Amino acid sequence: MLKINSNFLNLKDSYLFATVGKKTAAYKKEHPEKDVIRLSIGDVTLPLAPVVVEAMHKAVDDMSRRETFKGYGPDQYCYGYESLIRSILGSYARKGVQLQPSEVFVSDGAKSDCGNILNIFSGENTVLVPDPVYPVYVDTNVMDGRNIVYMNANAENGFLPMPDEGVNADIIYLCSPNNPTGAAYSREQLKVWVDYALKRNAVILYDAAYEYFVTDKSLARSIYEVEGAQQCAIEICSYSKTAGFTGVRCGYTVVPQALVREGVSLNKLWARRQSTKFNGVSYVTQMGAAAVFTEEGERQISENLNYYRKNAQTIAQCLDELDIWYTGGKNSPYIWLKCPNGMESWAFFDYLLENANVVGTPGSGFGKNGEGYFRLTAFGSAESTREACRRIKALLEKK
Amino acid sequence: MLKINSNFLNLKDSYLFATVGKKTAAYKKEHPEKDVIRLSIGDVTLPLAPVVVEAMHKAVDDMSRRETFKGYGPDQYCYGYESLIRSILGSYARKGVQLQPSEVFVSDGAKSDCGNILNIFSGENTVLVPDPVYPVYVDTNVMDGRNIVYMNANAENGFLPMPDEGVNADIIYLCSPNNPTGAAYSREQLKVWVDYALKRNAVILYDAAYEYFVTDKSLARSIYEVEGAQQCAIEICSYSKTAGFTGVRCGYTVVPQALVREGVSLNKLWARRQSTKFNGVSYVTQMGAAAVFTEEGERQISENLNYYRKNAQTIAQCLDELDIWYTGGKNSPYIWLKCPNGMESWAFFDYLLENANVVGTPGSGFGKNGEGYFRLTAFGSAESTREACRRIKALLEKK
């Protein structure tokens, strides 16, 4: 008789975004005349860069002719095309990080890698995650029955928790710039994490999905900017927010050759996992992605990034003028603010929806330390972001 | 201290295709003047159908404009676009199978689903796989530490093993038409398997990747053509061989709502797995796939399928004339033949390479019951397939 994976029964359903959607829809139904602005959007809204579009059209044409048709991707790098891998190595080299082609694994996105990477680790490890947290880190480990330990991110540490020497962990999740808080670690802070991991033979899973939003030179864009990181960290990257690929699906994960645990190369384990349970990313997608880190590609994506950065600035400036505490806004598309007047997250959600017709995301949905906080995002249009800020300012100045 | 998933250490490395490649390269290096023909190809060679190319170009254009840009796929069906899911339901309806949209999960390919589906099952289940076998079924279960039981596929049962009432299994792998043997189950045979699974509360993982090669009306194209299958089977399908999508990456897996084990809906478990560890398939890919099962799409892909079918016929006819026993060739792109004169698989490989300059795949690489057998595929060009058969005939008639 078949037994299900009973760990799934321990998953908590998250109603965060569903409830946000339901409340918003209910309000709009009651007030059809109101112009409701969503600053809760976690998805990009600007179209793909022209170089990407051109590369994808060319790749589709390649697929239409027998002479240039492509089947399964090349075996050598787990189905990643060398041109794409070379362009990723180029992006790393510009950050001062030297990697080998065999250390870069192309995938259909950071979320897939984030879940699938756990396959190479025993279920008996203890996992350290920040609170508040991107729920995928928690749920993927619950599915494997791993012990999860939380570390507090809060106003005191600027939502950038540092290691607690009293806590032992085998797998450590760091996301910088962070989702949902927008806070980003400096190289010095990451060095402390790397030393902590090395001392314990732990592995850091470093989620760098938002690294292209970093402009401050003192902040790390890759954990490999820190010495020793290649001995203890796996870095998960994405084209989703970097180049608007949320609907194109491409990411990459770096597993350094130097990363060895229990005498086994994690690079080899991951290569075995991917070559067994994965068959690569669409050729069309890979060619589009390869265009991103060219000189012209980087110029074009930085136009989109700057558009979102300006939205983040608009929101940050509004909060500055209202003297509201927040993290992010700089070096991140997220703004994580303390709800004014000691309001709880959902109370502030309702207040903002009803009085300013602006939708955000209650921080309490990301963990207990999120209570009393609120997330706004920079992925809307410039016009609606400005209008939302005008309304927020008018509403909160009144009080 | 981090512990790796030590089940990975129990994986056997398969050197099958690597050794085939190495031996072929060595022969070509020694005999640069020889025209070596590969009938070992497991990948398609014909370009995408025009309707698919057109749909993909249009989708790339959609991604280039703000008004039509697409980010993350729709939440409702685990990021599958409804137009694609409706076209898949249409393909099923033409086989007489009625499914709901929520029962179809779009993915980046059958191999991914084949590995990932195991996530929803306990590691304590016993798995039944045929020998010879597509190695992914074995390796993905070794990674989870499951107990694996083999069933013999051989000349006596036409490489179509039937249930042994004395054997208990929780998860049963069936692949029909089969890779590597090309043998395909009839509806009556599948009914016996469905009854066996229902009696034991087992689940059948039915790999239907080659179903579009079936032309014989007595053979099943979907296990759901059999009564009771929706209570015991998950069906994994692919556009790879159906529409030449090996480099485009799209498949779909059906988990019926009626499939419940230990009081839990497997459909809900899989939806939870996919929404947590996956973020959907490229919009461009999905639009291309949606064009496949249109009237014009089906007409165009059947041209490609007929091209490969004719190659299979060419090989089958050659073997008939040589009075060599084989399975497949009809209803399948694979031909699985008994090596002549009692030769072992690798001996026949060498003999054919050296004397006919034709490359195939030794059956012993797929399991112990493959010893003495040999796989040829229909994915080459018509010209080279004819030429290979001419040489094989000339060589083996001499003896």
Residue of A nearest to B278 (CA): A112
Average pLDDT, chain A: 97
**Mean pLDDT confidence for B173-201:** 98
User: Which residues of chain B lie closer than 8 angstroms to A122, CB-CB?
Assistant: 3-6
Q: A134: Cβ–Cβ under 8 A, 6 or more apart, which residues? A: A175, A179, A180, A207, A366
The yes-or-no verdict on residue B399 having pLDDT over 80 is no
Contact B269 A50 (CB under 8 A): no
- Kindly tell me if the per-residue pLDDT of B348 is higher than 60: yes
Q: Assess whether pLDDT exceeds 70 at residue A285.
A: yes
What pLDDT, on the 0 to 100 scale, is given for residue B13?
84
Using alpha carbons, select from A114, A137, A207, A200 the residue that is nearest to residue A163: A200
What average pLDDT does this structure show over B247-269?
A: 98
Pairwise CA distance, residues A285 & A263, whole Å: 36
| Range A196-205 average pLDDT | 98
Contact present, A118 and A140 (Cβ < 8 Å) = yes
For testing the chain B interface, which of A279, A292, A377 should be mutated: the one with the most B CBs within 10 Å?
A279
pLDDT at residue A399 tops 60: no
**Percent of chain A at pLDDT above 70?**
99
Residue B42 banded pLDDT, cuts 50, 70, 90: confident
Distances (CA, A) of A367 to A16, A134, A204: 11, 9, 21
CA dihedral A188, A192, A194, A197 (to 10 degrees): -170
- How do residues B215-227 score in pLDDT, each as one tens digit? 999 999 999 999 9
Q: What is the pLDDT of residue B15?
A: 81
> A137-149 pLDDT, tens per residue?
999 999 999 999 9
What the block records as the tokens of B232 is 């015991």
Among residues 115-154 of chain B, which lie with CB inside 8 Å of chain A? 115-116, 119-125, 136, 139-140, 143
Burial, B123: exposed, middle or buried (Cβ in 10 Å; 0-12, 13-18, 19+)?
A: middle
CA atoms B36, B389, B133, B48: torsion sign: positive
Structure tokens belonging to residue A159: 């939502």
Instruction: Return d(Cα A89, Cα B369) in angstroms, integer.
Output: 45
Q: CA-to-CA distance for A288 and A248, rounded, in angstroms? A: 9
pLDDT at A289: 98
pLDDT tier for residue B14 given thresholds of 50, 70 and 90? confident
Q: How confident is the model at residue B32 (pLDDT cuts 50, 70, 90)?
A: very high
Average pLDDT in the B226-251 region?
98
Q: Is the dihedral of CA A360, A363, A367, A372 positive or negative?
A: negative
Assigned token pair, B320: 């008939």
Q: CB contact, 8 Å: A11 with chain B? A: yes
pLDDT at A321 over 60: yes
* A333 pLDDT tier (thresholds 50, 70, 90): very high
For residue B296, count other CB atoms closer than 10 A to its CB.
Answer: 12
- Please tell me the least confidently modeled range out of A57-66, B11-20, B276-285, B297-306: B11-20
Contact present, A53 and A374 (Cβ < 8 Å): no
Q: Considering chain B, what percentage of its residues have pLDDT values greater than 70?
A: 99
Residue B158, SS3 per DSSP: coil
Q: Give the one of B57, B66, B123 whose C-beta lies nearest to A57's C-beta.
A: B57
Strand, coil or helix: what is B389?
Answer: helix
- A-B contacts at Cβ under 8 angstroms: 247
pLDDT of residue A279: 96
Q: Cβ–Cβ of A125/B2 closer than 8 Å?
A: yes
CA of B182 vs chain A CAs: smallest distance (Å): 21
A70 touching chain B per CB within 8 A:
yes
Answer yes or no: is the ipTM higher than 0.95: yes
In A201-260, the residues whose Cβ lies within 8 Å of chain B are 201-203, 244, 246-249
- For residue A189, the tally of other CB atoms under 10 A from its CB is 21
Chain B partners of A60 at a C-beta cutoff of 8 Å? Answer: 53, 56-57, 60, 284
Which phi and psi angles does A390 have, rounded to 5°?
-60, -45
Query: Nearest CA of chain B to the CA of A245: how many Å?
Result: 7
Report yes or no: B6 at the A interface, CB cutoff 8 Å.
Answer: yes
Shortest Cα–Cα distance, B369 to chain A (Å): 22
- CB contacts of A65 in chain B (<8 Å) are 47
- Smallest Cα–Cα separation from B329: which of B317, B341, B344, B343? B317
CA atoms within 13 A on the CB side of B215: 14
Q: Nearest C-alpha of chain B: how many angstroms from A53? A: 6
| C-alpha span between B388 and B37 (Å, rounded) | 7
* B201: chain A residues, CB-CB within 8 Å: 1-2
In angstroms, the CA B110 to CA B240 distance is: 8
Tokens in use for A271? 């290569």
Q: How far apart are CA B324 and CA B339, in angstroms?
A: 8
As a whole-number percent, the residues of chain B with pLDDT over 90 amount to 97
How close B149 comes to chain A (CA, Å)?
Answer: 15
Interchain proximity B45–A278, CB inside 8 Å: no
- What is d(CA A250, CA A205) in angstroms, rounded to the nearest whole number? 18
Interatomic CA distance for residues B282 and B59, integer angstroms: 10
Residue B41, pLDDT above cutoff 90: no
Q: In angstroms, what is the C-alpha Rg of chain B? A: 22
* Residue of chain A whose Cα is closest to the Cα of B17: A75
Nearest CA to B120 among B280, B271, B308? B271
Res. B396 pLDDT band, cuts 50 70 90: very high
Q: Mean pLDDT over residues B332-353, rounded?
A: 98
Beta pairing, strands B358-359 & B361-362: unpaired
A249, A265, A269, A303, best to mutate vs chain B, most B CBs in 10 Å: A249
**Section A166-185 average pLDDT:** 97
Instruction: Give the mean model confidence (pLDDT) for residues A266-282.
Output: 97
| HEC assignment per residue over chain A | CCCECHHHHHCCCCCHHHHHHHHHHHHHHHCCCCCCEECCCCCCCCCCCHHHHHHHHHHHHHHCCCCCCCCCCCCCCCCCCHHHHHHHHHHHHHCCCCCCHHHEEEECCHHHHHHHHHHHECCCCEEEEEECCCHHHHHHHHCCCCEEEEEECCCCCCCCCCCCCCCCCCEEEEECCCCCCCCCCEHHHHHHHHHHHHHHCCEEEEECCCHHHCCCCCECCCHHHCCCHHHCEEEEEECHHHHCCCCCCCEEEECCCCCEECCEEHHHHHHHHHHHHCCCCCHHHHHHHHHHCCHHHHHHHHHHHHHHHHHHHHHHHHHHHCCCCEEECCCCCEEEEECHHHCCHHHHHHHHHHHHCEECEEHHHHCHHHCCEEEEECCCCHHHHHHHHHHHHHHHHHC
By the 8 A CB rule, do B237 and B252 touch? yes
On whether any CB of chain A is under 8 Å from the CB of B166, the answer is no
Please check whether residue B282 touches A, CB under 8 A. Answer: yes
Q: Which residues 49-68 on chain B approach chain A with CB closer than 8 angstroms?
A: 50, 53, 56-57, 60-61, 63-66
Using a CB-CB cut-off of 8 Å, the residues of chain A touching B247 are 63, 69-73, 280, 282-283
From first CA to last CA, the distance across chain A in angstroms is 63
Tell which of B60, B120, B144 to mutate to test the A interface (max A CBs under 10 Å).
B60
Q: From B109, which residue of chain A is nearest by alpha-carbon distance? A: A279
Across the interface, do B47 and A61 touch by the CB < 8 Å criterion? Answer: no
Q: How far apart are CA A296 and CA B58, in angstroms?
A: 24
- Of all residues in chain A, the one with the smallest CA distance to B52 is A64
Cα separation of A78 and B255, whole Å? 28
Cβ–Cβ of A119/B143 closer than 8 Å? yes
* Contact status of A8 with chain B (Cβ, < 8 Å): yes
Helical segments of B238-381, H only? 240-243, 266-277, 283-292, 295-322, 345-356
Q: Is the pLDDT of residue A41 over 90?
A: no
| Out of A8-17, B199-208, B215-224, least confident range | A8-17
